[in-house]
Amino acid sequence: MQVMNRGPRHNLHQEKVQVTDWKKTTRRILGYIGFARGKLLIVFGLTIFTTAATIIGNRVNGIVVDQFLKASKLHLLYVICLVLGVMYLLSAVFTYFQNSVTVKVAQKASADIRGDIFSNLQRLPMRYFDTHDNGDVMSRLTNDVDNINTAMMQTFVQLFTGIVSVVGMGAAMLVLSPLLTLIALAASGLTYLFTRAAAKVTQKAFMTQQEALGALNTQIEESVSGKQVVQLFDHEADTMATFNQTNARYTHAAFIAQSVSSFIGPVNNGTNNLAYLAITAAGAISMLTGSSTITVGIIFTFLIYLRNFTGPINNVLNLINTLQLSLASAERVFEVIDEQPEQDLPGAVTVKTTTGHVEFEHIDFAYEPGRQILHDINLVAEPGQTIALVGATGAGKTTIMNLLTNLYPLQTGRVLLDGRDVTTIRRADLRHLITVVQQEPYMFQLSIRENIRLGRASASDDDVVLAAQRAHADGFIRQLKDGYDTVLSENAHNISQGQRQLLSIARAFIAEAPVLVLDEATASIDSNTEADVQRAMTGLMKGKTSFVIAHRLSTIRHADQILVIDAGRVVERGTHESLLKQNGAYAALYNSQFDQQ
Amino acid sequence: MFKILMQNMHGKVRLTFFLAPLVMLIEVFCDLQQPTMMADIVDSGLAKGDMQFVIKTAALMLMFALIGICAGGGSGVLGNYASLHMGQSLRTKMLTIALNSRAAGGLPPATLITRITNDVTQMQNLVMMMTRGMVRAPMLMLGGVVMSTLVSPRLAPILFVILPVLLVYTLLVMRRSLPFYTDMQGKTDDMNRVMRENLQGAKTIKAFVLEDHQQAQFSETNNALLNSSVRAAMAAVPLAPVIQFLLNLGVVIALAYGGSLDVGGVILDGQIIAFINYMIQITNAMVMTVNIITAFSRAITSATRVQAVLSEQVGEVRVGSAAGAPQDSSVTFDHVSFGYDQSKPILDDISFAVPSGQWLGIIGTTGSGKSTLINLLTRGFDDYTGTIKIGGVDTQQLDLAAVHHKVTVATQDAMLFSGTVRHNLTFGDKVATDAELAAGAHLADADEFIDPLPKRYDAPVEQGGKNFSGGQRQRLNIARAAVPDPDILVFDDATSAVDQTTNARIQQRLVQHRRGRTTLIISQRVANLLQCDQILVMQEGRLSARGTHEELLASSPFYAQLVETQLGGGRSDASDESRS
């Protein structure tokens, strides 16, 4: 007797899932558990044993009821009971073994899948991260891998045991009594049909419920996070009125949907009871009329078989749904694993040094075909020069710089470092030679020391401190309770935006790259830190070929060349003085800072 | 916890809450009758060959099965009614508190949102459990024990030995595995974090060639998660086989012992069968009970979190005695101090006066108290010391509505609400005409992107304003404050995300629309304050300097340095040029 049947799960409203190639996907999942092939085969073998033990054990129980309880064969009864006891013990041990093997195999396989996702994901081109929502990728790594895990833990093993049980019990039942089997099958069918019917009836109500719940949550989220605005504009009453409507709508829809489905459990339970009744009554009547070979023992055995039959059959039906869901998950996961990673051109060369001579030659660029972002960009930066890129948001300044480190594939034109096309240089080398300080630098959940050291893994602790000093970050770091060992929270929310920038400048200092790309923050930062950032950036640029996407006029004024970018074109170039004299776009931009009277 | 439930269930709802478990008892009772009646069929019907009795009992069983279905479903309907309406009432209460709380400190928005959404759902589940599972499982267990003792008293001792052993074992396994599960949760969070970092920091990782570093870190957390989850799962693995074995053992003993009694004629076949059936029922109920205990403990945590929200201080709003807002639009702060914590004031003895129609600028470091100043002016908090006056009247004497009509704020956080552009812009003036909307949008330089929208003011705004860029959201936010054309307009660092050119245009329009009307501008950019009649410099909650731009250049080194870094060396001639 197995009491741990999970019972019918009410997977009523599964999303429609599309599995494009289930054979291939299944084969790939199986590939992940291939390492434990031998153990899994043993598990399947044992499953057959435990199922057989249940079938035989129960039949023996029935025979005992029929025969040994009648006659005075007590010693035989005891022997049989002892044999049964041993059999049950063995089957418990086997179940333990089965489950522990499944758990370990499934977890190991999940970890392997996660590993594969990660190692491919982080080598994917920038384009992938631009076009894929973080939440979506995260959900593939977590939910989808969980689904595959469930598929392996439950589906493969339970489906197998389920089928073995159903076939075994079914056969045993059929042998015992075809009439009673028919009744049992009718009961199972009825339960299944009812569940389907209920699902259909409630589907619309459940959809309304989901939709209302979505609206409800949105309203809660908005009004709580927008509390200040709600209060400032005396909007509390209106907000509550709208909310109350949605709240009532949700409650009503949920009540209807859940009331109907709350009958599913009792009906299944009742159908089971009815099946029991029908079997007992049918058995009893045929015994009394003497028309068949049914005995009390057979009825008894049959009832227990029935328990072991309806459970798994419901399970198997549900598992088919789960399996479909898991396969769809697996396909989503394999999509990430199969995505083409960034690859160096064949024959890409190793370059360890550069003078810092950079040239952009007739660059046209589009992130997606048909939407050209850059038009014929030309630019020569001599070693040690500072080049400022100026222009409105979205003009293409950052895009130009992205091409320098070969983050995106170039369509026409060339970017040259010391006269060599950057796409022919190994990416790792190229990026070691060029340091990028982003507008919103990313900090990892590591200590400040480790975050700075990310610039160059070989840097010593002293190097870290020196870099921090040169970046004007040492002062604020030492004021923190744990100094350089302060662990940053996720996204470094425990320090200010300006301080994050100082850390990223320290990181750039330690990298000691000959070429520098600085993306100045548009948003104003803490005025106090701003002076530090300004000084640190000036220090960092010294002796390097520097490209600055500039928003601060003081930075721009000191540049060797200023390029004014508009809609992906260089519209003006020159020095601060020469551009002011031209009295064109640059002059207009410069004056707008002060021209407010 | 029970108190929360009772406070949110009244009348019909409360009635259904108590009725549901009673109806559930009927279902349990019906379920429990089945094995006994079957034993009757075997022992009385079959043994005596009494067809009449078999049919009569079968009819009775059918009746019980049908009543069981109705009672089970019915109690579900009742329980759902109670739980959903309890949730409805709880959500309304919590949101009302969240929206009206004006006290300092308090729960952060993200926490509040989770509590009003997830935790309330947990509470709803709790009610369902209390009305159904928590009644059904223990009653089935208890009823099973009683019934089996009644049917076959001689076999009952087997139950009394096996059941407690099972129960204790199950609880032990649960207690042992719980810490493993907590550990696993922590490891899962770690793994998710590394993954998230990798996604969010993709560009940084590429820029500094950190792929191998990240890979190593991920492998480490992934392995830790693997070990932890295997440990957690393994802790629970013995449970199923042990329960199964003990149950089977009980059946075997019942057979052997019952058989020996049967031979002596003390016990009947049917009784043994019924006993075994009850035992299976009891074990199932036990597993159910254990699951419910786990679920229950989770729900209790939610109840505590919900309670914390319910007991938040809403803070009495003092109703003003003055009839309406004063005509005059001056603003005065007189020795105002404020702080959540007495020893570390956020604002320390602030005094200043803005004559009606003048412009005031406020500049200072992050956390210097600039926004708090505005919060006090608009009566976001009432527990400050000193006096704040609008038009010469103490704001404490004014109605909140009067204050908010007089003063509107373009907040630092450009929060938009889903709906339409119109819905968002009419927050301060529900009956604003299109011309008034256009004037507000013009001031904010938002007309530039609203006008081309196909539906213009009726264009949709998605949740959080996601369909607008950061700069556009800020401009809509400014327009919202400008539409009511308030006597006093406040910009609380409201243009931080717009680009230089747009910022300059907004400054121009501000001059055009607000010259000669009281306007307060908080900004980190010196350029935004050049038009102000008076500028306050704030540092760490204090007023460190005040004056016009020129005065401050001379008197405040801090201010002078800000100007130097932001506007560069040439700023004085440049500003002279444009001012002349």
Chain B, 174 to 193: residues with Cβ < 8 Å from chain A are 188, 191-193
CA of A496: which chain B residue's CA is closest?
B366
- Note whether B463 contacts A265, CB cutoff 8 Å: no
Distance between CA atoms of residues B207 and A431, nearest Å: 6
Closest CA to A437 of A361, A544, A558: A544
CA atoms lying within 13 Å on the CB side of residue B239: 23
Closest CA to A310 of A263, A277, A269: A269
CA distance A337 to chain B (A): 15
- Note whether B569 contacts A118, CB cutoff 8 Å: no
Distance between CA atoms of residues A570 and A574, nearest Å: 11
In DSSP notation, A195-213 reads HHHHHHHHHHHHHHHHHHH
Distance between CA atoms of residues A133 and B200, nearest Å: 10
CA distance B371 to chain A (A): 12
pLDDT of A258 higher than 60: yes
Give the start-end residues of each E strand in B308-462: 331-338, 347-354, 359-364, 385-390, 393-394, 407-410, 419-420, 460-461
Contact B12, B29 (CB under 8 A): no
Helices B133-151, B12-40: crossing angle, 10 deg rounding: 30
Distance between CA atoms of residues B466 and B463, nearest Å: 6
Closest CA to B336 of B344, B318, B348, B354: B348
Looking at residue B383, its pLDDT comes to 79
Record the tokens describing residue A376, joined without a space. Answer: 């014929």
The Cβ of residue B178 has, within 10 Å, a number of other Cβ atoms equal to 14
CA triplet A214, A218, A221: central angle to 5 degrees?
A: 140
Record the tokens describing residue A365, joined without a space. Answer: 């660029």
As a whole number, mean pLDDT of residues B551-555 equals 86
Distance between CA atoms of residues A395 and A398, nearest Å: 8
> What's chain A's length in residues?
597
Is B314 touching A (CB cutoff 8 A)? no
Q: What share of chain B is helix, strand, coil (3-state, %, to 5)?
A: 65, 10, 25
CA of A251: which chain B residue's CA is closest?
B84
Contact A374, A364 (CB under 8 A): yes
On chain B, the residues whose CB falls within 8 A of the CB of A270 are: 65-66, 68-69, 72
- Note whether A266 contacts B72, CB cutoff 8 Å: yes
Q: What is the mean pLDDT of chain A?
A: 80
pLDDT of A522 higher than 70: no
Record the tokens describing residue A131, joined without a space. Answer: 């076009």
pLDDT of A295 higher than 70: yes
- Note whether A221 contacts B223, CB cutoff 8 Å: no
Q: Identify the helix (H) or strand (E) that includes residue A322.
A: helix A296-338
Nearest to B69 among A110, A233, A270 (CB): A270
Backbone angles phi, psi at A572, to 5 degrees: -150, 150
- Note whether B287 contacts A589, CB cutoff 8 Å: no
Instruction: Say if residue B115 is exposed, middle or buried (CB neighbours under 10 Å; 0-12, 13-18, 19+).
Output: buried
Encode pLDDT of B6-45 as tens digits. Answer: 888 888 888 999 999 899 899 888 888 887 887 787 777 7
Comparing A230-244, A299-313, B330-344, B476-490, the range with the smallest average pLDDT is: A299-313
Locate all alpha helices (DSSP H) within A339-458, ordered by sequence.
Answer: 397-404, 427-433, 448-453
Closest CA to A284 of A271, A297, A296: A296
User: Which of B30, B80, B563 to mutate to probe the A interface, most A CBs <10 Å?
Assistant: B80
Fold of B331-579: Rossmann fold (3.40.50)
Comparing A102-111, A126-135, A562-571, B425-434, the range with the smallest average pLDDT is: A126-135
Fold of A22-176+327-338: ABC transporter transmembrane region fold (1.20.1560)
On chain B, the residues whose CB falls within 8 A of the CB of A244 are: 92
Is B428 touching A (CB cutoff 8 A)? yes
Looking at residue A521, its pLDDT comes to 66
- Note whether B245 contacts A92, CB cutoff 8 Å: yes
- Note whether A68 contacts B378, CB cutoff 8 Å: no
Instruction: Say if residue B111 is exposed, middle or buried (CB neighbours under 10 Å; 0-12, 13-18, 19+).
Output: middle
- Note whether B58 contacts A81, CB cutoff 8 Å: no
Distance between CA atoms of residues B1 and A575, nearest Å: 72
CA distance A142 to chain B (A): 8
In DSSP notation, A36-76 reads GHHHHHHHHHHHHHHHHHHHHHHHHHHHIIIIITTTT-HHH
Q: Coil, strand or helix: which one is A277?
A: helix
Domain ranges of chain B: 1-151+296-315, 331-579
User: Which of A134, A208, A262, A425 to mutate to probe the B interface, most B CBs <10 Å?
Assistant: A262
Please, what is the end-to-end C-alpha distance for chain B in angstroms? 70
Comparing A4-8, A124-128, B165-169, the range with the smallest average pLDDT is: A4-8
Looking at residue B82, its pLDDT comes to 92
User: Which of B245, B261, B279, B483 to mutate to probe the A interface, most A CBs <10 Å?
Assistant: B245
CA of A281: which chain B residue's CA is closest?
B58
- Note whether B218 contacts A68, CB cutoff 8 Å: no
- Note whether B263 contacts A69, CB cutoff 8 Å: yes
Encode pLDDT of A153-186 as tens digits. Answer: 766 667 777 788 888 888 888 887 888 888 888 8
Single-letter residue type at B355: P
Q: What share of chain A is helix, strand, coil (3-state, %, to 5)?
A: 65, 10, 25
> What's chain B's length in residues?
580
Looking at residue B219, its pLDDT comes to 92
Higher per-residue confidence, B2 vs B547: B547
Chain B, 496 to 555: residues with Cβ < 8 Å from chain A are 496-497, 499-501, 504-505, 507-508, 511, 523-525, 527, 530-531
Q: Identify the helix (H) or strand (E) that includes residue B427.
A: none
On chain B, the residues whose CB falls within 8 A of the CB of A258 are: 76, 80, 84
- CA distances to A102, A167, B171, B353 from B330, rounded to whole Å, are 76, 88, 70, 7
Contact B32, B144 (CB under 8 A): yes
Helices B239-263, B269-310: crossing angle, 10 deg rounding: 150
The radius of gyration computed from the CA coordinates of chain A, to the nearest angstrom, equals 36
Assessment of whether the complete model's pTM goes beyond 0.80: no
- Give a three-class secondary structure readout of B385-397: EEEEEECCEEHHH
Find how far residue B485's CA is from the centre of its chain.
35
Looking at residue A199, its pLDDT comes to 77
Encode pLDDT of B200-254 as tens digits. Answer: 888 888 888 888 888 888 999 999 999 998 998 888 888 888 888 888 888 788 8
Instruction: Give the strand pairing for A420-421 and B347-354.
Output: unpaired
Is B216 touching A (CB cutoff 8 A)? no
pLDDT of B448 higher than 60: yes
Domain ranges of chain A: 22-176+327-338, 178-293, 358-592
Nearest to A81 among B207, B252, B493 (CB): B252
Contact A403, A125 (CB under 8 A): no
On chain A, the residues whose CB falls within 8 A of the CB of B77 are: 259, 262
Nearest to A95 among B210, B241, B405 (CB): B241
As a whole number, mean pLDDT of residues A216-237 equals 81
Contact B237, A103 (CB under 8 A): yes
Distance between CA atoms of residues A564 and B482, nearest Å: 34
Find how far residue B225's CA is from the centre of its chain.
28
Is B578 touching A (CB cutoff 8 A)? yes
pLDDT of B138 higher than 80: yes
Encode pLDDT of A70-96 as tens digits. Answer: 556 677 778 888 888 888 888 889 888
Distance between CA atoms of residues B525 and A553, nearest Å: 13
Structure-token match 């014929």, residue found: A376
Q: Which letter, b or e, does each residue of A72-85 get, where b requires 16 or more Cβ atoms within 10 Å of its Cβ?
A: ebeeebeebbeebb
Choose the CATH number for B1-151+296-315 among 3.40.50.920, 3.40.50.300, 3.60.40.10, 1.20.1560.10: 1.20.1560.10
CA distance B342 to chain A (A): 23
- Note whether B530 contacts A594, CB cutoff 8 Å: yes
Is B423 touching A (CB cutoff 8 A)? no
What superfamily does domain A358-592 belong to in CATH?
A: P-loop containing nucleotide triphosphate hydrolases (3.40.50.300)
On chain B, the residues whose CB falls within 8 A of the CB of A551 are: 499-500
- Note whether A4 contacts B243, CB cutoff 8 Å: yes
Distance between CA atoms of residues B118 and B127, nearest Å: 14
Beta-carbon contacts of residue A405 (< 8 Å; ≥ 6 apart): A422, A430, A431, A434, A436, A517, B206, B207
- Note whether A280 contacts B85, CB cutoff 8 Å: no
CA distance B284 to chain A (A): 6
Quote the percentage of chain A above a pLDDT of 70: 90
- Per DSSP, what are the bridge partners of residue A557? none
pLDDT of A11 higher than 50: no
- Note whether A511 contacts B208, CB cutoff 8 Å: yes
